[in-house]
Structure 1
Amino acid sequence: MNLTTKILLPLIWLLCAIPAGLVQAQQAGQTKDNPSYAALADLLENEQSREKLINELRTMADETATQAETVAEEASAASSSSRELAQTTRAIAEGIGEQFTALAEVVNGLVDGQVASDEQFSLAGLMEATLNLSLVIVATLLVFMLMRRLIGPLLYARLDNWALHGAGNTPVIRRVICVALAAAVDVVIVGLAYVGGNLVATFLVGESGEQTTQASLFLNAFMVIELLKAGLRMLFSRRYDGLRLLPINASEAAYWNRHMALLIGLLGYGVMVAEPLISIHISAALSQGINTLLMLAAFMYAAIIILKNRRRLAGIIRTKAEQSPMATSKISLHLLARTWHVLALGYFAVVLVLVLLSPANALPFVLFATLKTLGIIVVGLLLSTLLGQTIGRRIQLSPELRRKMPLLEARLNSYVPNALRFLRFLVLAAVILLSFNAWHVLDLATWYASEAGGVLMGRIIAVAIVLAVAAAIWVTCASLIEHKLNPETGTGIPSARTQTLLSLFRSALAVLLVTMTVMIALAELGINIGPLIAGAGVLGLAIGFGAQKLVQDVITGIFIQIENAMNTGDVVTLGGITGTAEKLSIRSVGIRDLNGTYHIIPFSSVDTVSNYMRDFAYHVGEYRVSYRENIDDAIAHLQNAFEELAADEAQKPYVLEALEVAGVVALADSSVNIRVRIKTVPGMQWAVGRAYNRLVKMHFEQAGIEIPYPQSTVHFEGSRQGVAPALKLEQAGERYSG
């Protein structure tokens, strides 16, 4: 047995399931040197075990082949991009080289009097075609220029004036309307010039009633190029500031309009007129070479213009970024200022590559993709500008509505701009995605038609609706609560309990609305909120056990509100602190004491609520008179002071009943104490008491009734004859005697 057999046979045995016979053979005491060989022999003798071994080996072979194919595919995918790039570069280089070679051959043939084409070159025919085409060109351009000269001062100037200084509508909407009307006039002028050129080509050039090929080529090219220039004037109008969509000055617009119009005319007339005519009258190879030269020249011209204005245009964009009030616009414009030249060069490079690879199919694709992109960007800019003007404009409600709901205007001016900023961000995202779709980088229609795209868009729309409904509910409910709390509307000044309950309801509504909105939004996004609710329940239970004090605060606060123990504005005593309840929550109360100190007292520490503002109150006063005064006279003067108090217009509304005299309540050391009580409106007992004390003092003084103060009698010990020694007083180092 060779070495390979000795290695493979034990491995095969290890990969297979060990049969029961092998275990029995090992237990029977087979030798320790070759147990695997005996087991393998038993395995092969058994038909079922042998079949199982064969299946295992085939499975292993299939898996090995699959793994090898996977590795090969990964390696092929890793190098496919580099190969495609190399092949594309080589194809472009070879195509350019072949076209220049063919162009050189055609030029040599023309010099030698031979043309590499199926038809013989005719100089006379070329001159006649050139003359006829020149007549059509002159007639078409003459009609076009005359129409623009006549209509421009009459119509364009009026549209420009209305766009800049007109009344009504938002400025951006007014500008869009005027630009659209001017563009429509441009289209009409181009159409009239096209019709005039067709008439000249049909009846004045060549045979009457027929139109030559070269005339048709020029007229079609004229129509396409002038329509493109009309669209270009919508962005870069040179003479009329009100008919320019882009926010740039006239000199800047004239600069870019001139260069871009020159580029459009060069490519348009070169590709749509010169190339076909050269192909028809001279050589197809020459026309292809001319096409390549035109594309290279256009690319070089565009690259020079872009690099020449790189820093200047970047500075203008940065200035616009600093003037933008939104952070998103600032970031986007700063990024555009740094990369605009890269994007522009990349665009022209892509166009050049596409045209060189596929001249017949690339030009229509590039043209329509460019027009779509420009249209998307312009519409996005207009929407963004409109939203920006709306954001910057403050919402103003009518005086009546502002009187009823004074906080509604501030609330709307806080919420609406944020919503409009979000819409502006959506506009930016839509512009980017639609631009990618125009260049077939993305296929939004296919993605939206797919199950994943439809589900995602549906969820996004559902979440947006949920957020909008939640915001509308909050604004409506908060405005209604505000309306109820406003003393100028409804039934007048609401009660303290109504104010407290409505304030608590507003806070509870905010928490509930936020919680429900988040839960519904997560559910619409496809997130299972069941575990979240269960987890929140478990977490709440854990917090309840760990924060029993907080739970006690909440429960006590609920019962205090149910029992109407206090309301906002009540004067109360809680936890040894007396003051005005300024703020009540479900957990604590804020009290401002007489010194202005603000105390927050949790309800769990409240054992007793002493409210001085329920139903009615009393001013209780004890007034002292001397022992030598007549008590009945003193009580009579107390009654007179009360009658004067009750007659006072300032205090009369707060006194509810007649004076209640309790009588003499104490015979003190130096006075007789008389107690009286005045029933007042709750909360006014202190003011009424101060006014009554003033009147009592005045009446006692007029009647000569003494209000005593503590007095002491001092006796000096003397002799039996009654002679007392002199009293010596010493103060600040001086001695007095008497």
Structure 2
Amino acid sequence: MLPELPPTLERTYRAFTAHSLIALNTRRRHAMAATSLERGSTRTQSAFSSSLSLWSRSFFALCCLCLLLAGMVPGFASLAHAADTAPASASSATGSLSKDDAQQLLNVLNDPKKREDFTHTLSLMAKGLPAAPAAAKAAAAAPTVVDSDVNSELDNLTSSMQGYVQNFAGLFKDLGFVGSWFRSQISNPETRKTLLDAFSRAAIILLAALALERGTSLMLKKPLTAVTSHAEARERKQEASAAVETVQAATSTPDGDNTQTRADDQRRRNEVMRYLVRVPYNFLHFLLKLLPVVVVLAIGYLGAEFLTTTSQARTVTITLTNAYVVARGLYLLLETGLAPRSPAIRLIPAQDNTARMLTRWWNVLVAAPSLVICLSTLGSEFNLAPRGTEAMLRAVVLVQHLIIAAFIWRVRHIVANSLQPSPELRKNAFWAFVGAMARFWWIPVLFLDIALWFVWAAHLKGGYQWILRGTLLTLVCLVLARLIAVLAYGLQDRLFRISDAVEAEYPGLQKRADYYYPFVRRMLTVFIVFVAAISIAQSWNIPSFHFFFENPLGSRLVSAAVILTLGLVIASVAWEVINGLLNKQIDRYTTSSQSARATRLRTILPIIRTVLLVFIVVIVTVTTLSQIGINVTPLLTGAGILGVGLSFGSQSLWKDVITGFFMLAEDAIQVGDWVTTSGVAGTVEQLSIRTLRVRSFDGDLHIIPFSSVTSIANTGKGFNQIIVRQTLDLTEDSQKVAYIMSTVIKEMRSEEAFRHIIFSDYNDLGVDSSDGNGAVLIGTIRTAPMMKWKVQREFYRRLANRMAKAGVKFYTPTSYYTTPPGNAMHLAMDAMPEWVPPQPQGTGSTAAHSAPAASLADAQPTQAVSPSDEKPQGKPSPQGPAHA
């Protein structure tokens, strides 16, 4: 047995079903009547709007009808027949749905529990009712090829297109109607008299007002000239100060990459400031030029009030006055912004010729709003039908669009040249293509201009307003974006320009600011472009604001971008603050004679920076990913597993890291030390957490892993010691030599250049050995770290001169080569007779040469040569030629 509905719901159900059938019948009648549309745009729009409204209500009723089809009572056929044949039954059926029943049905539908029970009851009723055989036969007889909803949509689209075409064609018919109306007005003596009286009085009043306007303009010529003169004087001062600021901006930073950027930003800021300074003068200029227009307005209204006798004359006078005031005001608005005769107060950047041309064209274009005001007001005043008024308005707007098209054609070359990229950008293929396409900008703009009029003339609902509103808002967004960009760039330049006091306290801060300057500039540019883009999209009714601020996906994207930006800013600030504190600490150690600590901190500074960078990158990455909704737990788990795998697979790497850490912690080595390790001697250039970089004496750079370092000989720790070895002749006095060396060191310590790097006098350790190779004298000299080579070279240079002057004898190795006794060659040479040189003939000196030398020694000089005078072959005597 089928469940029964409550009585109230049953009545509501039956009334709703009848209402749905009546709505369907009404829609069918309107669809048949749509083929004969009435003339006139007002009636057409009303019929079209009512058709759309009825279609929407009928479609909703049809959906509900399909939902409730299974629960209809057997009296459906008779009820439908009554709905089709007797319109009077509509009122009775609708009347059965009382206010209380409708409210109760609404409560049932709004309550999920009651709605579920109601749906369950209807489904049970549908299962128990028999199928309708007539509907089945009809379906079998006429199978459906196209869905009824699709067919209905196509019919509506066809009807809409026919309506648009008829509206557009009705324009020309309505213009003929305007001509008929005008002939009828002129042919009627009474209406002709009214027209002549109204327009003649209005013309007289307007002529008087225009004469007074001209007189007022002549009286205000001197104040206008004074305003322009003050503006020009202020302009010259502004240009002088701007030139100085531009030079300072170009020379304030040593970074060549940012010099041009800062100069460009300064130039743009000066340009904006120049225009902002012009605003008061321009506004005063506009008010002075607006005074004659106010005179016209006052004369027109006073004349309409006191000099007219009919309501038509008063209306004509006020309408023409308003039209002139509106046109003149619009003209002055642009004329003041361009200021073709006063460049010092010009707010729109343009050349003088361009300003004059735009002003002339604008003077023609402002006539259209005046005509629109006149036609819309005077048409109803003189009993012109609305369709005639609208036809004239469309004709006026057509002329306006044709004038705009001519203006676009006139300025196409000027705009194309201004849209061309810079010569540097044109070297790129993409920007070269953009520049080539920019020359044809006038084609889409011209098409848009003509299409706007067709859209409005065909009465496309909201089309003209949508395009016009979108275009104007796009221009406003672009202008505001440009202004905000210039102001933002100027503010950035001020923030990134470090004062001298701060630079003195934190040296290098200006250089760091210059490093971040281009990155912040790009971020500002991206932000401004993004805001401008979504604003332009919103102006064209694209729901960009809804997507980025209300949609979950867009909100998440915006949130991710904001969090990423904040993370980068915080990370950069933390990085620079910590680096600044470390550098300041190094400077403090250096100035407070704690050079060891300064060197140590400078050594481990790269490692601290590396660890800090890794820490900041990890924190920012994890935080950003978690904020945008990405689960970072699997990533952290994977990173942990990867770290364990790397620790087992790269034991040598970890050994390098651990060894390097302990060496740095124990201060075993610093940057700048001279070390000997792993068979390499040189200066330490860089220390990382894993490697040691040593520059040898021959210039080679040796990169040594810490795991290969077993021992380090560091010359830069504590002090150095020079070991002095002198090999003397056995006959030389060692005490004399030690005294000479001690004297040389004392002289060096008395000098300013060596006072702080020689820690001790010559420490004589005595004779280390004495044998056939001479006597070895040993001593030491203690010096500052890394200074022993400098002291040693200077010490030996001075010592050589002192020892040569004192005649110190050094041991000289001697080698003898001979043959053993009894050798055949030795015996043969002993048996040879002694050679006697021949004696010269003559007198005088014969006696002097008569006696041969007794031996070879007799032929040598009689002066004795000491062993100390013996010098190695090839080396000059330290005594010079005088000693010989």
Q: TM-score range by the shorter chain?
A: 0.7 to 0.9
- Alignment-mate amino acid for residue 644 of structure 1: E
Choose which of 201, 222, 236 in structure 1 pairs with 2:300: 201
Q: Which residue does the alignment assign to 1:171?
A: 270
**Structure 2 contact 213–293 (Cα < 8 Å) conserved:** no
Matched, 1:101 2:173: yes
Matched, 1:250 2:322: no
CA distance in 2: counterparts of 1:551 and 1:121, whole angstroms:
110
CA distance in 2: counterparts of 1:664 and 1:567, whole angstroms:
38
Choose which of 402, 406, 409 in structure 1 pairs with 2:507: 406
CA change 1:246–1:89 in 2 (3 A) is farther
Query: Structure 1: which 5+ runs fail to align?
Result: 1-53, 55-68, 727-737
- Alignment-mate amino acid for residue 807 of structure 2: G
Q: Which residue does the alignment assign to 1:534?
A: 637
CA change 1:122–1:100 in 2 (3 A) is farther
Could you give the per-residue CA deviations for residues 168-225 of structure 1, whole angstroms, max 9, x where no partner exists?
6842342342343245336635764554334212322353699933344445445554
Matched, 1:467 2:565: no
Matched, 1:385 2:486: yes
Helix, strand or coil: the match of 1:318?
Answer: coil
CA change 1:339–1:385 in 2 (3 A) is farther
CA distance in 1: counterparts of 2:611 and 2:427, whole angstroms:
33
**Structure 1 contact 144–190 (Cα < 8 Å) conserved:** no
Choose which of 148, 173, 185 in structure 1 pairs with 2:284: 185
CA distance in 2: counterparts of 1:343 and 1:353, whole angstroms:
15
CA distance in 1: counterparts of 2:380 and 2:807, whole angstroms:
134
CA change 1:337–1:538 in 2 (3 A) is farther
Could you give the per-residue CA deviations for residues 359-389 of structure 1, whole angstroms, max 9, x where no partner exists?
9977777666555443332222223334556
CA distance in 2: counterparts of 1:635 and 1:76, whole angstroms:
124
Choose which of 314, 317, 323 in structure 1 pairs with 2:416: 314
Helix, strand or coil: the match of 1:654?
Answer: coil
CA distance in 2: counterparts of 1:359 and 1:192, whole angstroms:
41
**Structure 2 contact 297–325 (Cα < 8 Å) conserved:** no
CA distance in 2: counterparts of 1:127 and 1:588, whole angstroms:
100
Q: Which residue does the alignment assign to 1:9?
A: none
Q: Which residue does the alignment assign to 1:375?
A: 476
Matched, 1:287 2:366: no
Helix, strand or coil: the match of 1:566?
Answer: coil
Structure 1 residue 467, shift from structure 2 partner: 2.5
CA distance in 2: counterparts of 1:359 and 1:288, whole angstroms:
15
**Structure 2 contact 167–457 (Cα < 8 Å) conserved:** yes
CA change 1:540–1:332 in 2 (3 A) is farther
**Structure 1 contact 299–348 (Cα < 8 Å) conserved:** yes
CA change 1:138–1:406 in 2 (3 A) is same
CA distance in 1: counterparts of 2:601 and 2:520, whole angstroms:
33
CA change 1:414–1:642 in 2 (3 A) is closer
Q: Which residue does the alignment assign to 2:367?
A: 266
CA change 1:492–1:179 in 2 (3 A) is farther
Could you give the per-residue CA deviations for residues 689-729 of structure 1, whole angstroms, max 9, x where no partner exists?
22222233233223322223432122245668977849xxx
Structure 1 residue 252, shift from structure 2 partner: 2.1
Q: Aligned ranges for residues 102-181 of structure 1 at < 5 Å?
A: 102-111=174-183, 122-125=194-197, 127-128=199-200, 130-131=202-203, 134-135=206-207, 138=210, 142=214, 145-146=217-218, 149-163=221-235, 165-166=237-238, 170-181=269-280
Q: Which residue does the alignment assign to 2:402?
A: 300
CA change 1:526–1:161 in 2 (3 A) is farther
Q: Aligned ranges for residues 533-552 of structure 1 at < 5 Å?
A: 533-552=636-655
CA distance in 2: counterparts of 1:87 and 1:574, whole angstroms:
96
Q: Aligned ranges for residues 209-248 of structure 1 at < 5 Å?
A: 212-222=314-324, 224-226=326-328, 228-233=330-335, 236-248=338-350
CA distance in 2: counterparts of 1:206 and 1:690, whole angstroms:
114
Helix, strand or coil: the match of 2:743?
Answer: helix
CA change 1:492–1:615 in 2 (3 A) is closer
CA distance in 2: counterparts of 1:668 and 1:75, whole angstroms:
125
CA distance in 1: counterparts of 2:680 and 2:297, whole angstroms:
99
Matched, 1:559 2:658: no
Structure 1 residue 576, shift from structure 2 partner: 1.1
CA distance in 1: counterparts of 2:376 and 2:732, whole angstroms:
132
CA distance in 1: counterparts of 2:427 and 2:687, whole angstroms:
38
- Alignment-mate amino acid for residue 138 of structure 1: L
Question: Could you state the TM-score of these two structures normalised by the residue count of structure 1?
Answer: 0.76
Helix, strand or coil: the match of 2:756?
Answer: helix
Helix, strand or coil: the match of 1:507?
Answer: helix
Q: Which residue does the alignment assign to 2:610?
A: 507
CA distance in 1: counterparts of 2:147 and 2:603, whole angstroms:
75
CA change 1:207–1:633 in 2 (3 A) is closer
Q: Which residue does the alignment assign to 2:783?
A: 680
Deviates more, 1:515-524 or 1:346-355: 346-355
Helix, strand or coil: the match of 2:675?
Answer: strand
Deviates more, 1:142-151 or 1:675-684: 142-151
**Structure 1 contact 403–488 (Cα < 8 Å) conserved:** no
Q: Which residue does the alignment assign to 2:865?
A: none
Deviates more, 1:334-343 or 1:177-186: 334-343
Could you give the per-residue CA deviations for residues 218-260 of structure 1, whole angstroms, max 9, x where no partner exists?
4544555455445534764423334444443221233234324
- Alignment-mate amino acid for residue 251 of structure 1: N
- Percentage of matched positions with identical amino acids: 21
**Structure 1 contact 481–506 (Cα < 8 Å) conserved:** no
Query: Structure 2: which 5+ runs fail to align?
Result: 1-126, 128-143, 243-268, 831-855, 857-884
CA change 1:488–1:243 in 2 (3 A) is farther
Q: Which residue does the alignment assign to 2:706?
A: 603
Helix, strand or coil: the match of 1:613?
Answer: coil
Question: Could you state the TM-score of these two structures normalised by the residue count of structure 2?
Answer: 0.64
Helix, strand or coil: the match of 1:567?
Answer: coil
Superposed CA RMSD in Å reads 4.4
Q: Which residue does the alignment assign to 2:719?
A: 616
Helix, strand or coil: the match of 2:306?
Answer: coil
**Structure 2 contact 673–716 (Cα < 8 Å) conserved:** yes
Matched, 1:397 2:469: no
Structure 1 residue 352, shift from structure 2 partner: 2.3
Structure 1 residue 101, shift from structure 2 partner: 0.9
Structure 1 residue 151, shift from structure 2 partner: 4.1
**Structure 1 contact 172–382 (Cα < 8 Å) conserved:** no
Q: Which residue does the alignment assign to 1:426?
A: 527
- Alignment-mate amino acid for residue 422 of structure 1: M
**Structure 2 contact 741–799 (Cα < 8 Å) conserved:** yes
- Alignment-mate amino acid for residue 693 of structure 1: Y
Structure 1 residue 415, shift from structure 2 partner: 1.0
